[in-house]
Amino acid sequence: MSSQPSRCLVMNSSVIIALAEINMANIISVLNIEIIVPHAVYEEVVTKGRSRPGSKELETLINQGKVKVLAPKNRALVEALHDPLGMGESEAIALAVEHGCMLALDDRIARSKAKSMNLKVIGTIGLLRLTYSKGLIGRDMLIQALRELKEHGFRISDKIINEVLKKLK
């Protein structure tokens, strides 16, 4: 994959839910790139996850035209990825391949699979760092977001938080 920034980002449910839990799902709308959510992720977060974190936020972003819901065309790739990955992760990877997008997901196995396919992968923490580097959130807001993620059960060690903070300008 080229070193140019991606013109689009495919998001998996874990990132959407994590951002919603810390009241930062709105950053998705200000990234100034096309945001795509796989149909399986929409089903997981909005339909099955109705009234849970991320549901209302994702539905609002879709209704505002800030997020597109797409189904991958390459169903064979989705099925090949589906074991051991979930359907949302499988569809997210397939859409990233089809559209040449960066991929936002947190699951270790899914990240490893995506990287082995030469996809650019970013997680919730990386997405927060990206919004910081673009000047969309300040240092204090980033620090608060990292702490809140940890409070909400997101697996992030103090060591990782400190590493992120050391890299900030």
Pairwise CA distance, residues 48 & 42, whole Å:
9
* Paired residues of 9 in beta bridges: 35, 102
Residue type, 134: K
Name which of 6, 18, 16 is nearest 59 in CA terms.
16
CA–CA dist 60, 18 (Å, integer):
16
Instruction: Give me the pLDDT at residue 5, please.
Output: 54
pLDDT at 116: 96
Q: What is the pTM of this model?
A: 0.90
The string of DSSP letters for 60-125 reads HHHHTTSEEEE--S-HHHHHHHTTTS-HHHHHHHHHHHHHT-EEE---HHHHHHHHHTT--EE-HH
Q: What is the mean pLDDT of each run of 10 residues along the chain (169 residues)?
A: 66 96 90 94 95 95 96 96 94 97 95 96 92 90 91 83 77
Report CA Rg, the chain.
15
Question: What pLDDT is stored for residue 159 in this prediction?
Answer: 82
Give dist(CA 3, CA 94) in Å, integer.
20
Measure the CA–CA gap between 167 and 157, rounded to whole angstroms. Answer: 16
